[in-house]
Structure 1
Amino acid sequence: MDESVVVSPDWLASRLDDPTVRVVDVRDAWEYDGIGHLPGAVTVPFDSYRDESDVDRGTLPGADAFADLLGQAGIDEGDTIVAYDDTHGVFAARFVLTAIEYGHEDVRLLDGDYSAWNREHETTSDEPDVEPTEYEADPLDPNESPLVDREAVEDALERNAVFVDTREKDEFEEARLPGAVRFDWREVVDDETRRLKPEDDLEALLEEHGITRDREIVLYCNTARRISHTYVVLTALGYENVRFYEGSLTDWLAADGEIETGPVASE
């Protein structure tokens, strides 16, 4: 697993004294305050970097709004950011994807979540002293971004792309993109450890679903949260031809895109 994308609790624990490693807690503020958090972590709640009002742009908050959030959290452009939540990493992965899209070069997901960390490492209720910065976002060029719009998705449907639906079974059967395969994002997580399954197991699991390195992969869910986790995992495994449909099924249905319904034989 590529440590420039996903890091273990031990990796992070050994670097907590490094001032350029910034830990971001994306849980609700009451969890950060009332339950505790990782030492040195700053709070950037999930709903603060998600705009539910702009369907055309998906749910990204906008470059200026995101830069303000990171500046208020005392983060510099050159810092190494490690994000975590307490939901197997799905909300933290959305933060990772957002930071990548707005040009932060070194942002990583903590393997596991708060509960996994808490089993072997100390937590605290002390808030760190934060000195705000003048963070400047540098959004990716559209040609370099993994995000694709509806037109690009329509084009990919004409090719041999594999469309990966990361939602639950009932959602998949209610409506899905034509030819999509269902790959519940939680399948990559070990229920006991709350961390990602071993790399060999992940590779085998992906292959079972037809998700292989030689294929163009397009991810979608409903509002681009769950695919963030799958995107980070695939990136950490070295998959290169992965696209991220930011508008996801919400955007597709709004445009009356073609869908399939009902169960499939493999389900």
Structure 2
Amino acid sequence: MNPLVSAAELAAALTAPNPPRVLDVRWKLGGPPGREEYAKGHVPSAVYVDLDTELAGHGLPTDGRHPLPAIADFQAAARGWGLNDGDAVVAYDDVSGMSAARAWWLLRHAGFENVRVLDGGLTAWLAAGGAVETGRPDVAPGTVHLEFGQLPVLDADAAEAVAAHGVLLDARAGERFRGEVEPVDPRAGHIPGAVSAPTADTIGPDGRLLPQRELAERFAALGIDAGTRAGVYCGSGVTAAHAALAMEAAGLPIPALYPGSFSAWSNDPARPVAVGAD
């Protein structure tokens, strides 16, 4: 399944007999919760999803800033969104899918197949003339059953092995990869052997993902094809999910994701950190 849905496709689906459940995953690192923006206006029928509390767990610094939630907690949250087994789901945000991809990846990892991301997010929806509504819709609790384990996941040792024997993509901005700046984590740089692949480079000027062929060419230039042992990480595991989304949109297998990402790696003094472009 194409992991993306256009604004026009979503508008048509919302008028169908069995419309998808729409998830509003607006979130900004270090900013206020997106719930306030959701209240001002959202895609009709959308339910707000809090990335920090519903799409992430809590742990030690060596677990990273956004470790995976416990499956029981994630299932409870999904039921609160009204999800039932077999539902179709569309997630969106206002940052070109950068946070909505976290919901997409978690649901896929938990065995939910029919989930897509609105290409271009709320900006594309509004540009296409999509309506917005205020207030939270009445949502009957769902009964969905979820279980993690459907997508490949890396711990620190496995990430190190992929960097040595495959292609480990670092989805952060290039200056963070090179160690020139580090606004959040305790050490600057990257996992040794990783390849810089800013996920922002997969997004076109219109806020949508690049066309499939361009995405495939980009990943090929990074050394990835359908048979590559590939992994991806970022600062805390959120942007890495967007890189995974871009790879599937390119027609490639979803890569193994390191949920702890650099926030976990850099908090472990036993883990080496590399700096520079290579």
TM-score normalised according to structure 2 size: 0.85
Gaps spanning 5+ residues in structure 2: where?
A: 27-33, 180-188
Q: Counterparts in 2 of 1:46-125, with a 5 A limit?
A: 46-51=51-56, 53-55=58-60, 56=63, 59-125=67-133
CA distance in 1, matches of 2:194, 2:109: 25
CA distance in 1, matches of 2:217, 2:250: 12
Change (3 A) 1:30 1:11: same
Query: In structure 2, what is the equivalent of residue 186 of structure 1?
Result: 200
Identity %: 30
CA distance in 1, matches of 2:103, 2:197: 21
Q: Counterparts in 2 of 1:1-267, with a 5 A limit?
A: 2-3=1-2, 5-18=3-16, 19-27=18-26, 28-34=34-40, 36-51=41-56, 53-55=58-60, 56=63, 59-126=67-134, 127-140=136-149, 144-159=150-165, 161-174=166-179, 175-191=189-205, 193-240=206-253, 242-255=255-268, 256-264=270-278
What is the CA RMSD across the aligned residues, in angstroms? 2.0
Which one-letter code corresponds to 2:35 in the other structure?
Answer: A
Query: In structure 1, what is the equivalent of residue 186 of structure 2?
Result: none
Shift of 1:261: 0.8
CA distance in 2, matches of 1:52, 1:129: 26
User: Does the CA-based 8 Å contact 2:4-2:117 persist in structure 1?
Assistant: yes
User: Does the CA-based 8 Å contact 1:49-1:60 persist in structure 2?
Assistant: no
Q: Which moved more, 1:204-213 or 1:49-58?
A: 49-58
Which one-letter code corresponds to 2:36 in the other structure?
Answer: W
- SS state at 2:124 partner: helix
Shift of 1:180: 1.7
Which one-letter code corresponds to 2:58 in the other structure?
Answer: S
Gaps spanning 5+ residues in structure 1: where?
A: none
CA distance in 1, matches of 2:54, 2:220: 33
- SS state at 1:60 partner: coil
**Superposed CA offset, 1:76-116 (max 9, x none):** 12101100000110100011111122222221111111011
**Superposed CA offset, 1:114-145 (max 9, x none):** 011100132222443211123332222xxx43
Change (3 A) 1:138 1:20: farther
Change (3 A) 1:243 1:121: same
- SS state at 2:147 partner: coil
User: Does the CA-based 8 Å contact 2:156-2:265 persist in structure 1?
Assistant: yes
CA distance in 2, matches of 1:128, 1:231: 31
Shift of 1:241: 6.4
TM-score normalised according to structure 1 size: 0.88
